[in-house]
Amino acid sequence: MNRHGTQIAKCGLAVLSVFSMGLMAPVQHVQAQVQSIYNTALPSVIRVAIRPFNNPFAPILYVQTIGFEEYCEDVLPNEWVPSWNQQALEAGAVAIKMFAWYYTLHPTTENGWTYDVDNTVNYQKFVYLSGTPATDAAVRNTWNVVYTPNNGEILPLEYRSGWPGSANWTFVGSNVMSQWGSEYWGSVANLTYPQILNLYYPVYTLKFI
């Protein structure tokens, strides 16, 4: 009787433990949904919806699939200015990559077209084959660098044009980088690209992949 009772207790514990594991499983699943640099590989390609004349309001002509690094090289000279300070270009290269990486994980379907980004300022201005030596170098120099919150979550680094020739103080600490501001901080204050990024995205940190 006593031995039988022990067996029942053992069985009950086993069932309970299996049941409790089953209850815990969804919690682990939710935690795994955060897409971070620790569980998500850098994309090899990206789908770009092409709108005529880079017009953000125009209908989609076609979707072009292109290598992810080539995409970044064909965005940087159109978002930043190739003749700008190299540190500003490298800050831009990191922002462009993180922005695009996020949207490869969050694609859009519009009028039957499925794409990650388009070629306009709805996302980032992309012109196929427009890479320049200076901007290509900036993309290459920062290719193993990411800029994320502490948990490594892949989030878009937002940016705007800002005011030409000024420090663009309104953007500092806002989690939105000013393109003109990055040029100012790079060329006038001689800041490095991690320092420029830190000015605009203070809660993010630089990591290597």
Partner 1 sequence: MFGKQLCVVMATFLFVYGLVFGWSGKHLALANTVSVANRVQMEFRVASGKDFKRIAGARIILVQSNGSVLTSGQTNTSGVWRADVPLQQDPRFAGVEKLGIVTAIAVANGFNEEVVFEVPVKQDMVQPIILNPIRGGRRNEPVAVLGNLHRNALAKLVSRYATQLGLKRQTIPTEFDVPPWSPNQKS
Of 16-24, 71-79, 100-108, 201-209, the segment contacting partner 1 by CB under 8 A is 71-79
Provide the minimum distance between the beta carbon of 102 and partner 1 in the complex, in angstroms, as a whole number: 20
Provide the minimum distance between the beta carbon of 87 and partner 1 in the complex, in angstroms, as a whole number: 18
Compute the distance between CA of residue 68 and CA of residue 160 in angstroms, rounded to an integer.
22
Compute the distance between CA of residue 206 and CA of residue 191 in angstroms, rounded to an integer.
15
One-letter identity of residue 196? I
One-letter identity of residue 206? L
Provide the minimum distance between the beta carbon of 149 and partner 1 in the complex, in angstroms, as a whole number: 22
In sequence order, the β-bridge partners of residue 207 are 146
Chain residues 88-147 in contact with partner 1, contact rule CB under 8 A: 121, 125, 127-134
One-letter identity of residue 197? L
Number of residues that bind partner 1 (CB under 8 A): 28
- The answer to whether residues 88 and 138 touch, using CB atoms and an 8 Å cutoff, is no
Interface pattern 37-56 for partner 1 (x via CB under 8 A): ----------------x---
Instruction: For residue 145, give Cα distances in angstroms to 18, 29, 96, 129, 138.
Output: 42, 28, 12, 24, 11
Q: Name which position in 163, 194, 205, 207 contacts partner 1 (CB under 8 A).
A: 163
Q: What does the binding site for partner 1 look like in residue numbers (CB under 8 A)?
A: 53, 64, 66, 77-79, 81-83, 121, 125, 127-134, 160-164, 170-171, 174, 176
